Every structure is written in structure tokens, then in C-alpha cells.
């Protein structure tokens, strides 16, 4: 998964120009965008490298979520998915 912000093996420094390009069309501010991207990258970095090629990118996964999910906050969706795991409706 490509990293838009920060520095490291996956990306270059976050610049104002990159921020404007990456954030065009949404209301996520630059500081939050950096935090979100680095958090997601940290999660992917914990996945063993031999497994990563078998996983779709997070944007691809999120694009497959039904449109009906757009009515709810991310926190509500997370709570629903946690409940589904706990009750055997989603497999780990």
C-alpha cells in the first residue's frame, strides 16, 4: 500500500502540494490525514510481508462496502463489525 505522508520506505515527505492533491474533494485536514495514513501503514507493516500480496489494498476493501454503510459513522460500523465477530457472523 502506498503511503502519501511522512517519510520512509513507502513514500516521500508530505508537502503542501501533495496534501492538496491527496485531499482534494474532502474535508480531512492535513494533520489528520497524516495521522490516518501513518496509522494504516503501521497496521499493514505488522502483516508478514509474504501475506501482503494476497491482501487487497485498504481502499479496495472500503470501496466494496455497501453504499448503505454511508449513513453511519465509522465508529458505528466498527462497533457493528466487532459485534459480528463476537457473534460468529464474521470469520476471523
Q: Domain limits at 31?
A: 1-55
Number of domains in the chain: 2
Mean pLDDT of 54-79: 91
* Same domain, residue pair 66 and 43: no
pLDDT digits (tens, 9 = 90+) for 13-59: 556 556 555 556 678 888 998 898 899 899 889 999 999 899 998 88
- Asked whether 57 and 41 are in contact (CB, 8 A), the reply is no
Alpha helices in the chain (DSSP H): 16-23, 30-45, 58-63, 74-86
* Same domain, residue pair 79 and 48: no
pLDDT of residue 16: 57
pLDDT band at 10 (very low <50, low <70, confident <90, very high): very low
Mean pLDDT of 65-91: 92
* Same domain, residue pair 24 and 34: yes
* Same domain, residue pair 45 and 2: yes
* Same domain, residue pair 38 and 9: yes
* Same domain, residue pair 3 and 24: yes
* Same domain, residue pair 75 and 92: yes
* Same domain, residue pair 50 and 64: no
* Same domain, residue pair 64 and 45: no
pLDDT of residue 30: 86
pLDDT over 70 at 1, yes or no: no
- Cα 1 to the chain's mean position, in Å? 10
* Same domain, residue pair 1 and 42: yes
pLDDT of residue 19: 58
Amino acid at each position: 500500500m502506498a503511503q502519501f505522508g511522512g517519510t520512509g520506505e513507502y513514500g516521500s515527505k508530505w508537502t503542501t502540494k501533495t496534501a492538496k492533491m491527496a485531499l482534494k474533494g474532502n474535508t480531512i485536514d492535513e494533520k489528520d490525514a497524516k495521522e490516518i495514513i501513518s496509522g494504516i501503514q503501521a497496521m499493514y507493516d505488522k502483516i508478514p510481508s509474504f501475506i501482503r500480496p494476497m491482501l487487497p489494498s485498504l481502499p479496495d476493501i472500503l470501496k466494496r462496502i455497501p453504499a448503505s454503510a454511508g449513513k453511519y459513522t465509522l465508529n458505528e460500523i466498527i462497533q457493528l463489525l466487532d459485534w459480528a465477530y463476537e457473534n460468529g457472523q464474521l470469520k476471523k
